[in-house]
Amino acid sequence: MHASIEQLIGLRDEEPVSVDVQQHVRGCPQCAAALNGLLAARERVGGLADPLPPPDAWRRIVAASERSARRRRWLPVAGMGVAASAAAVAVLFMNLHLMQPRAGTDLAVTPPVATKPADVNQLMAQSRYLERAVLSLDGHADHMVVSAGTASTIAALEDRIALVDYEINSASGSGVGNDDPHVAQLWKQRVELLQSLAAVRYAQVADAGI
Amino acid sequence: MSSRFDQSIPDGVLERARAGDRAAQAELFATFGQPVFGLARRMLGRADLADDVLQETFIEVLKGLAKFRGEAPLGMWIRRIAVNECLMQMRSHWHRFRLPLERGSDATPVEEWLESDEPPPDKSLDMERALDALPPEARAVVWLHDVEGYTHVEIGRLMNASPSYSKSQLARAYVRMRQWAGRPGEVEPCMPALNN
């Protein structure tokens, strides 16, 4: 019987492996070849360079850090923190709705609209901002009593977001770049779904009287 | 194995950064920003998520500098924060579809490594893609173990799993990536089987 990959990785990493296995690998061209392949693979993975952070990353970190410090100074009461999150989402909504008017409140994804590749970075930034805003409410909203209808709406939205994520990931995995119109459309869908989810979450917090 | 976080900073920078000196804090970012972003990009497979991790990590670093006692090297402390931020991203319910968990624990036979029929792709470009195409936990295990030098025990602890889970994820990852790993050519038949 051949060595398992786990055993070969153990040998590769000089971890304790039984003498029988060591002897077998020494005498078995297939296992020895696989061991060499594993060594080469580790080299190749370790040789991947670290990508550079986005050029404006430090500026954003400083800004976020200062915001966070201000919040700690002015909002020491937990309940007020929730109120601030809710207010932030409300303001965000107003801004986003002003920027991108939408018809109706149903959950359907907006039909495809041509999206310029240059917009994708903006969509990604919007998506990140919305996601963080909604997540900041999630911890509090999760403790609240929710109607079956609301719970179902939230679950449906989260599932749709996850499916869009899956498609984005698949596209990225198959080498499709962000300049691809389909990828841009997926990011647009993600932003719209997050807007809807944030609306539901905001309504939840508002209904709770916070 | 040396970690990418194994970097030194000039004397006095840490103290000045602790005292709130933005220039010194920027110097810390200049030293450790790329390793944090690289770790997150490799573990999460997406630049936008890595950007989030980078931001959250450095906000935590700036908040926690005053409490950092220097019991571990600064880079290792920052790495720990970054790894935790990555794992939080992976556990987030937002990503449950695209981060499927693989809980298999059976030993992976070497035949799986050898029986690939796929043509070898352009190796100079595709190791990165192969890594990105792995399931998230397998990708994280590969990076933490083979690049950052975490042990299987440490990885198991981080992922609320056993060391054998980490070993199994690593093995499965390399089986998936075998066509990028330099497959051997024709091999001679194996010698008589031995028990493991």
What is the residue-wise DSSP string for A98-117? HHS-------PPPPP----G
Of A5, A65, A159, the CB nearest to B59: A65
Residue A39: inside a domain, yes or no?
yes
Select from B36, B97, B109 the Cβ nearest to the Cβ of A165.
B97
Using DSSP's 3-state secondary structure scheme, residue B183 falls into coil
Which of A158-172, A189-203, B55-69 bottoms out in mean pLDDT, i.e. has the lowest?
Answer: A158-172
Q: Does A55 touch chain B (CB under 8 A)?
A: no
Chain B neighbors of A135, CB-CB under 8 A = 92, 94
**If we measure between CA atoms, which residue out of A181, A169, A171, A82 comes closest to residue A123?**
A181
Residue A73 or residue B167, greater confidence: B167
* Residue B145 CA to its chain's centroid (Å): 7
Provide φ and ψ at A4, rounded to 5°. -85, 165
Residue A52 lies in a domain: no
Domain-embedded: residue A51:
no
B54 neighbourhood in chain A, CB within 8 Å: 53, 57, 61
Closest CA–CA distance from residue A29 to any residue of chain B (Å): 6
Q: Cβ contacts (< 8 Å) between B147 and chain A: which residues?
A: 45-46, 48
Number of residues assigned to chain A: 210
- Token pair 């194994």: residue: B6
What is the least distance, in Å, from the CA of B94 to any CA of chain A? 6
Q: Which chain B positions have a beta carbon within 8 Å of A38's beta carbon?
A: 174, 181
* Of B22, B93, B168, Cβ closest to residue A62: B22
Backbone phi, psi, residue A165, to 5°? -55, -45
Which CA distances in Å does B185 have to A33, A34, A36, B2? 9, 10, 12, 32
Q: Mean pLDDT across the stretch A66-73?
A: 72
Residue A61 C-alpha, separation from nearest chain B C-alpha, in angstroms: 5
Measured CA to CA, the distance from residue A2 to residue A30 in angstroms comes to 8
Q: Are B110 and A30 in contact (CB under 8 A)?
A: yes
Contact between B108 and A4 under an 8 Å Cβ cutoff? The reply is: yes
B108 to each of A4, A25, A28, how far by Cα in Å? 5, 16, 17
Task: Please give the Cα distance from B181 to B190 (Å, whole number).
Answer: 21
For residues B22 and B94, what is the distance between their CA atoms, to the nearest angstrom? 34
Q: Is A29 on the interface with B (CB under 8 A)?
A: yes
Domain ranges in chain B with CATH number 1.10.1740.10:
13-95
Confidence of residue A151 (pLDDT cuts 50, 70, 90): confident
pLDDT at B186: 36
**What is the domain count for chain A?**
2
User: Per-residue pLDDT averaged across A154-159, rounded?
Assistant: 79
For A131, A159, B90, B130, the CA distances from B93, given in Å and listed in that order, are 12, 10, 8, 25
Do A113 and A181 belong to one domain? yes
Give the CA angle between residues A161, A201, B98 to the nearest 5°. 20
Q: Are B65 and B44 in contact (CB under 8 A)?
A: no
Q: Judge if ipTM > 0.90.
A: no
According to the per-residue pLDDT averaged within each range, which of A142-156, A180-194, B91-105 is highest? A180-194
Q: Are residues A94 and A120 in the same domain?
A: yes
CB within 8 Å: A45 and B147: yes
Which ranges in chain B are annotated with CATH 1.10.10.10? 110-180
Is the pLDDT at B188 greater than 50? The verdict is no
**For residue range A93-114, what is the model confidence (pLDDT) as tens digits?**
555 554 454 444 344 444 444 4
Compare CB distances from A40 to B95, B128, B181 and report the shortest one's residue.
Answer: B181
Least CB-CB distance to B110: which of A23, A34, A172? A34
Residue A185 lies in a domain: yes
Do A99 and A119 fall within a single domain? yes
- Identify the closest residue of chain A to B124 by CA–CA distance: A44
What amino acid is encoded at A38 in this protein?
L
Q: Does domain B110-180 have CATH number 1.10.10.10?
A: yes
Q: What domain range includes position A94?
A: 57-207
Question: Thinking of the domain B13-95, which architecture would CATH place it in?
Answer: Orthogonal Bundle (1.10)
The reply to whether A66 and A97 lie within a common domain is yes
Task: Say yes or no: B162 contacts chain A, CB-CB below 8 A.
Answer: no
A202 and A101 part of one domain: yes
Question: Looking at residue B107, what is its pLDDT?
Answer: 62
Whole-number pLDDT of residue A23: 92
Output the pLDDT for position B108: 63
The pLDDT value recorded for residue A168 is: 79
Angle between helices A19-27 and A5-12 (to 10 degrees): 90
- The phi and psi torsions of B109 (rounded to 5 degrees) equal -70, 150
Instruction: Determine the average pLDDT of the residues in A69-77.
Output: 60
In the predicted model, what is the mean pLDDT of chain B? Answer: 80
Token match 């025990």: residue?
Answer: B153
Please check whether residue B171 is in contact with residue A6, taking contact to mean a CB–CB distance below 8 angstroms.
yes
Query: Is A177 in a helix, a strand, or coil?
Result: coil
